[in-house]
Amino acid sequence: MYRYDAIDKEFLTDRSNEFRHQVGRRLAGELSEDQFKPLRLMNGLYLQLHAYMLRVCIPYGTLNVAQVRRLAWIARTYDKGYGHFTTRQNIQFHWIKLRDAPDILDALAEVNLHAIQTSGNCIRNTTSDPRAGATAEEIDDPRVWSEAIRQWSTLHPEFSYLPRKFKIAVTASAKDRTAARVHDIGLALRRGRDGTLGFEVMVGGGMGRTPFIGQTIKEFLPATRLLSYLEAVLRVYNRAGRRDNIYKARIKILVSSLGAEEFGRQVEEEWAQIDAARADLPDTELARIRAAFIQPGLEVLPPVSDSYEAARAANPALARFARNNVSAHKAPGYAIVDVSLKAHDATPGDANSDQLEAIADLAERFSLGDIRVTHEQNLVLPHVKQSDLPALFEGLVAVGLATPNINLVSDIIACPGLDYCALANARAIPVAQSIAQRFLDADRAELVGELKIKISGCINACGHHHVGHIGILGVDKKGEEYYQLTLGGSGAEDASIGKILGPGLNADQVAPAVDRLVEVYLAERQGEERFLDTYRRIGMTPFKEAVYVDAH
Amino acid sequence: MSAEFLKALTANRLGEGDVVFWSSGQWVEQFADAELFTEEAPAEAAVALAKAQNRTVVDAYLIDVTRSEQGVAPVSYRERLRALGPTNELGHGKQALGGAAIAALQAASGAARSTGRLDLIRRK
Ligand code: HEM
Ligand code: SF4
């Protein structure tokens, strides 16, 4: 795992001291709210419905044991004992006091965490694959490149006041676990025919009120030229992106109005002007970053653990967990474990302090101290010996974190919605819970298989509803909460934007409607088809008829 | 549309972020203790006073309030949630206090959800 050096540490301490001073001046009345608000937002502090909310950056979703313990401590000391993991692999605390914020930033800085660039019109945290460094599927370790982007984009003077926020994803496997095609820039690692490393560069993806799938503007960018090329993309956007209308300011609007080809041409033109020697990462620096991600401690093990096989055969609960939450590791005898934060009565993405501490302990014992956050609001323990899986499973069961539902119908993404968010139209959390409750039967959920339900409380789409196999958007219909369903979205390598099913439903109708959609799928599916595949084959009509049957 | 002018003044405390309501020059924690304005002039005067309290509160604004058999409640769902707390954690926020006034607000929220009254106004 990457270790911050003395310069990084000093920078974080300085930043937190600066914010302490700013908060002091605000509380003393020396700064007005209008003057102070941009300063607090630069430190990830929003005012929500019930309190301030602090968004803490988790670089490309990677945490160590000390950091998770510190997050647990912050949740217990300054919040109501829990935190909320987001679709951007970050964590939010929902009950923060402004007075406490400087102390919290200090506590974060001690473990190399911060809230910088978690808000505002700058380059945000880079999304990456939570299985980085553990999966055999990857072409290269995407953390290396994500870390390079982190260093390059942190406090980048030219790109601190962009027309709008900017989000980059780096994926390295054929299976995209980063939603790269709905990011402002999606980078997919590729090997060229000559074996060299490069990126497919996709731009202009995004969600919000005008969703777009990113378009490829460069099939193969030599990896060593990454930073200069990003600089060129950002520079074209910074110059030509609209600043007159907040709804048209994202790069996706620029790319769609120019056309991807013309946008790509302008980037090439800009790129040709940039001095590569200045802009690109020196090989020595790249080598230094790469060395930091070489995983120490992996043992040479037989590919199959007999004790694990025996335990799985003897314990049906472990077997179910293994089917849904355990996947292959690149090293023989190891496994990658997904930890679901989607128990049926839980708030999607929430973890309480006891659970966070348990995860830290379990990661220390069983996962080489490495913890990842997924954009689907779950956690991953990436390096677990198969022979440790039974003990890990028991440890997870003890704190309610062994829900065997990864990628299943109850593994739902939900934004905080109207229960917390000042921008919301409707609640998202109770809708997710009502669906999870309806699909409590684990055998049926496994029979249904992969089904990605994603819920946002408003059109900003923080809950990724546009790319849900079933998307659910909360709307306000004359003061009442209503929900608009979409079908056929995907945030993965087969990305697409969902299409509206029909008229909005009230909160009580959503879970029954999902049930009917699932019944149509089960009746119609062929072979190994997922819900999404069946929808793509048979189209909207059968689903629509099933949900609106009463309306005839 | 109800013709009655009925409003309360709300804000968040600067240092804590807590939701508060105006009551005769003081900020109180519970909606049940909020002053209800039945005329525009005193309501606007209170807003002006609140906005001058730069060191105490942020984001002061008037909300619409309605009277029903259950009592008075903010008209919009959003404002009822601010007056209560999140519905996924019933022990968090103002609703933790319990009692008749909280129960009445919760009942008003429930009513809005299931009856689909169409004359609710949203403040955002
Ligand atoms: C303080 C609470 C939040 C506020 C004020 C907020 C605000 C917004 C806004 C205004 C947008 C639309 C941006 C645009 O299209 O230009 C947006 C998009 C987004 N937010 Fe949030 N959000 C909040 C919480 C969250 C949470 C909890 C998550 C994760 C669960 C999240 C993740 C995202 C994502 C993934 C997008 C869409 C992707 C994109 O188009 O950039 N946000 N948010
Ligand atoms: S989608 Fe809307 S309601 Fe949900 S967190 Fe984002 S801004 Fe808030």
Q: What is the pLDDT of residues B79-98, one digit of tens each?
A: 999 999 999 999 999 999 99
CB contact under 8 A, A49 and B82: yes
Token readout for B64 is 């619409």
Token code pair at residue A486:
């979409």
Indicate the average pLDDT of chain A.
Answer: 96
- CB atoms B16 and A99 under 8 Å: yes
Looking at the structure of chain A, the number of domains it has is: 4
Of B15, B89, B117, the CB nearest to A97: B15
Same domain, A286 and A329: no
- Predicted local confidence at residue A2, as pLDDT: 82
**What backbone torsions phi and psi does residue B59 show, to the nearest 5 degrees?**
60, 50
Instruction: Note down the domain range covering A472.
Output: 413-551
Structure confidence at residue A480 (pLDDT): 83
How many A×B Cβ pairs under 8 Å? 95
Q: Which of B19, B89, B120 sits opposite A479 (nearest CB)?
A: B120
Contact A142, A127 (CB under 8 A): no
Tokens of residue A433, six digits? 């819970």
User: pLDDT of A458-468, one tens digit each?
Assistant: 999 999 999 99
The Cα B17–Cα B57 span in angstroms is 8
Residue at B71 is within a domain? yes
Give the residue among A218, A208, A203, A124 at the shortest CA–CA distance from A162. A124
Domain co-membership, A340 together with A471: no
**Ligand 2 first shell, C-beta below 6 A:** A 415-417, 421, 423-424, 456-458, 460-463
Give the per-residue pLDDT at A4.
85
List residues in chain A touching B: CB distance below 8 A.
26-29, 32-33, 47-52, 80, 95-99, 347, 418-420, 423-424, 427, 429-430, 433, 476, 478-481, 506-508
Task: Let me know whether A376 and A474 are in one domain.
Answer: no
A115 lies in some domain: no
pLDDT tens, residue by residue, A219-255 = 999 999 999 999 999 999 999 999 999 999 999 999 9
Residues A180, A216 within the same domain? yes
Domain of A95: which CATH number? Answer: 3.90.480.20
- State which of A339, A363, A398 marks the end of a domain: A398
Task: Decide which of B118 and B14 is more confident.
Answer: B14
Verify that A457 and A315 share a domain, yes or no.
no
Q: Atom of ligand 1 at shortest distance to CA of A247?
A: 16
Residue A147 included in any domain: yes
What pLDDT sits at residue A550? 66
Please check whether residues A143 and A274 belong to one and the same domain: yes
pLDDT above 50 for B119: no
A153 pLDDT exceeds 60?
A: yes
Spatial strand order in the sheet of B19-23: B26-28, B19-23, B7-13, B57-68, B71-74
Of A358, A373, A398, the position where a domain reaches its end is A398
Q: Tell me how close the Cα of B57 comes to any Cα of chain A, in angstroms.
A: 9
Structure tokens at B101: 């006034």
Task: Outline where A90-225 has alpha helix (H).
Answer: 101-110, 142-153
Give the closest residue to A522 by CA, choosing from A409, A403, A407.
Answer: A409
CATH number at residue A242: 3.30.413.10
User: What pLDDT digit, counting tens, does each position of A336-377 carry?
Assistant: 999 999 999 999 999 999 999 999 999 999 999 999 999 999
B89 in contact with chain A, both atoms CB, cutoff 8 A: yes
Three-state DSSP state, A528? coil
A414 φ, ψ to 5°? -145, 135
B18, part of any domain: yes
Q: Which domain holds residue B102?
A: 7-116
Asked if A176 and A50 sit in the same domain, the reply is no
| Domain co-membership, A156 together with A17 | no
**A129 part of a folded domain:** no
Residue A509 CA, ligand 2 centroid: distance in Å: 21
| Token pair of A512 as six digits | 């029954």
Asked whether the beta carbons of B66 and B4 are under 8 A apart, the reply is no
A interface test, pick of B51, B92, B121 with most A CB neighbours within 10 Å: B92
- Chain B residue with minimum CA distance to A508: B114
Inter-chain residue contact B112 with A29, CB threshold 8 Å: no
* Cβ atoms < 10 Å from Cβ of B93: 24
Joined together, the tokens standing for residue A103 give 């102390």
CA of B39 vs chain A CAs: smallest distance (Å): 24
C-alpha of residue A84 to centroid of ligand 1, in Å: 14
* Residue A147 sits in the same domain as residue A285: yes
Q: Are residues A392 and A426 in the same domain?
A: no
CA A66, distance to chain mean position in Å, is 21
Q: Does B123 touch chain A (CB under 8 A)?
A: no
Position in ligand 1 atom list of the atom nearest CA A85: 30
Residue A315 counted as domain residue: yes
The one-letter code for the residue type at A171 is T
- Say if residue A277 is in the same domain as residue A148: yes
CA atoms within 13 A on the CB side of A279: 17
Helix (H, G, I), strand (E, B) or coil at A477: strand
Decide if A536 contacts A544 (C-beta within 8 A). no
Residue A94: closest CA among A341, A349, A276, A296: A349
- Ligand 2 centroid, distance to A46 Cα (angstroms): 13
Residues A403/A439, Cβ–Cβ less than 8 Å: no
**What letters, b where the CB count within 10 A reaches 16 and e where it falls short, cover A1-40?**
bbeeeeebeebbeebbeebeebbeebeeeebeeeebbebb
| B-chain residues near A429 (CB < 8 A) | 86-88
Q: Torsions phi, psi of A253, nearest 5?
A: -70, -40
Structural domains in chain B (count): 1
Dihedral of alpha carbons A470, A475, A480, A484, sign? negative
Same domain, A88 and A144: no
Question: According to DSSP H, which parts of A489-530 are helical?
Answer: 507-524
